[in-house]
């Protein structure tokens, strides 16, 4: 069981629909939450951002015990209409930005494990990493790439005492699909309650779970 009391946890995308809800629940469980978002000048598309952010956390808190990556962007439409700019942003926010952040956070998380804590990383690759979806081909590819990275990296980091938890919920009722960077969302139907998704993920953190497939978010 992971004790969050006194833990310093970074939530990237901490002002978003899921990020804010997870931040609240982590705080309630006793964690010191560091919320980072584009609006607070922490843009995950910026290649230098992860190094600067982790250094700032170390300077202010002296430790880092958990990372939750809830930032994301989506685009809709056929792949034949996909622009280079959209493709670049999809991968920068959903794939390469998170990878850089995980890389930069690893030394502090390793140090946390050395103090008998149970450091963790949470990613949200979503159901599209399990079932790539037409009309969302590039988004599916970006999320699938992140999922593949977490599977392999979790094996590498296990010996350092760092746990990676990838969550793959289906369509969640947040603003993400309503504000795509390209195209228009199809009729997706009613999404999963974001409060339930946030609660399930935080419970998985505490219970030392290592994977949350889409089936874990069913009724």
Closest to 174 measured CA to CA, from 158, 151, 190, 163: 190
The contacts of residue 138 (CB under 8 Å, 6+ apart) are 75, 79, 82, 86, 87, 90, 91
Residues 9 and 69 sit within 8 Å (Cβ to Cβ): no
State the catalytic residue, choosing from 76, 120, 139, 149: 139
Distances (CA, A) of 177 to 17, 45, 100, 140, 171: 11, 19, 25, 14, 9
Tokens of 57: 């956390």
Handedness of CA 157, 90, 217, 129 (dihedral sign): negative
139 is known as an active-site residue: yes
Rounded Cα distance between 182 and 22, Å, is: 27
The residues annotated with a catalytic role in the active site are: 139
């Amino acid at each position: 069981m992971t004790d969050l009391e006194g833990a310093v946890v970074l939530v990237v995308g901490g002002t978003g629909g899921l990020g804010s809800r997870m931040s609240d629940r982590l705080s309630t469980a006793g964690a010191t939450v560091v919320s980072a978002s584009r609006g607070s000048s922490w843009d995950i598309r910026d290649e230098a951002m992860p190094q600067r952010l982790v250094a700032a956390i170390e300077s202010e808190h002296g430790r880092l015990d958990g990372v939750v990556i809830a930032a994301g962007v989506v685009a809709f439409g056929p792949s034949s209409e996909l622009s280079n700019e959209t493709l670049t942003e999809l991968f920068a926010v959903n794939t390469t930005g998170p990878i850089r952040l995980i890389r930069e956070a690893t030394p502090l998380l390793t140090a946390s494990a050395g103090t008998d804590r149970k450091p963790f990383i949470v990613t949200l690759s979503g159901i599209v990493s399990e079932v790539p979806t037409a009309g969302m081909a590039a988004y599916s590819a970006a999320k699938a790439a992140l999922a593949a990275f977490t599977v392999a990296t979790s094996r590498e980091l296990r010996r350092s005492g760092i746990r990676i938890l990838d969550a793959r919920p289906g369509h969640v009722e947040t603003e993400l699909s309503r504000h795509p960077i390209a195209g228009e969302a199809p009729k997706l139907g009613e999404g999963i309650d974001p409060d339930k998704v946030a609660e399930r993920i935080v419970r998985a953190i505490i219970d030392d779970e290592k994977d949350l497939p889409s089936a874990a978010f069913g009724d």
